[in-house]
Amino acid sequence: MLELNPLLPPGYSPVGPGRLATVVTCLEMKSRPRGRSPRSLPPPYEVSPFDQSDLTAYRTLFRKIGENWLWYSRLVMSDEKLLGILDDPLVEVFVLRDGDEDVGLLELDFREGGECELAFFGLAPNAIGKGLGRALMECAIAFAWAKPIGRMWVHTCTFDHPSALAFYIRSGFQPYEFQVEVQPDPRLTGHLPRGAAPHIPLIEGPESAA
């Protein structure tokens, strides 16, 4: 018999104004897909290591890619905590560049022994729809499995690009768990513009409307 999670009862659970709830899908890959190698990027695109000490440049790219999908975790994080993550030798950050413009982010986290988390992966709006995501994912898989790991994993949520989940599955990841995340709406805390992600309703509490 299927056991229900006692922490989240069946049926509807109110989230409350000023907060967001999203369904998270966790996916994993337990071996490197055979017969794959990084695809060549058309010039002038290239994947390069990112200067992980430049928090301003990192957050600028993070916001550029994720604002419409309500990425905010690295925007609310203190400089000290963020630098502690990015400065860790077991965290590798790469950027997809279009000439002098940063248009893609790839962040791999090896801090859990024998594993690699695809922590962040995304393209700026002007880089979507050009086949660059597939090429960048092939780089991610190659970089990750070049290390002695037995598992690569990633999670995506219902606020991400509508094609994200299917894209990860096509790339070789398999779903293994659902989670529900509830957080303050970053558009109401000032970490993202109120006009960000207009496809997601903005539901204010009494204190926000005052």
Domain assignment present for residue 2? The answer is no
**CA dihedral (147, 151, 157, 160) positive or negative:** positive
Say yes or no to pLDDT of 1 above 90: no
Q: In whole angstroms, give the CA distance from residue 69 to residue 99.
A: 25
145: enclosing H helix or E strand: helix 132-145
Mean pLDDT across 177-202: 95
Domain assignment present for residue 148? The answer is yes
Instruction: Copy the structure tokens of residue 206.
Output: 């009494």
Question: Residue 137: its pLDDT value, please?
Answer: 95
Question: Residue 147: its pLDDT value, please?
Answer: 96
Question: Residue 9: its pLDDT value, please?
Answer: 82
Q: The CATH number of the domain where 44 resides is what?
A: 3.40.630.30
Domain assignment present for residue 130? The answer is yes
Say yes or no to pLDDT of 6 above 80: no
199 pLDDT band (50/70/90 cuts)? very high
Question: Residue 71: its pLDDT value, please?
Answer: 96
**pLDDT tens digits, one per residue of 77-99:** 999 999 999 999 999 999 999 99
Question: Residue 5: its pLDDT value, please?
Answer: 54
Domain assignment present for residue 9? The answer is no
Domain assignment present for residue 199? The answer is no
Instruction: Copy the structure tokens of residue 176.
Output: 């293994």
Total number of domains constituting the chain: 1
Domain assignment present for residue 200? The answer is no
Domain assignment present for residue 8? The answer is no
37 pLDDT band (50/70/90 cuts)? low
Average pLDDT, the chain: 92
Domain assignment present for residue 107? The answer is yes
Instruction: Note down the domain range covering 61.
Output: 20-192
Strand blocks (E) in the chain: 19-29, 45-49, 91-98, 101-109, 115-123, 151-157, 174-184
pTM of the entire structure? Answer: 0.91
The one-character DSSP state at 172 is T
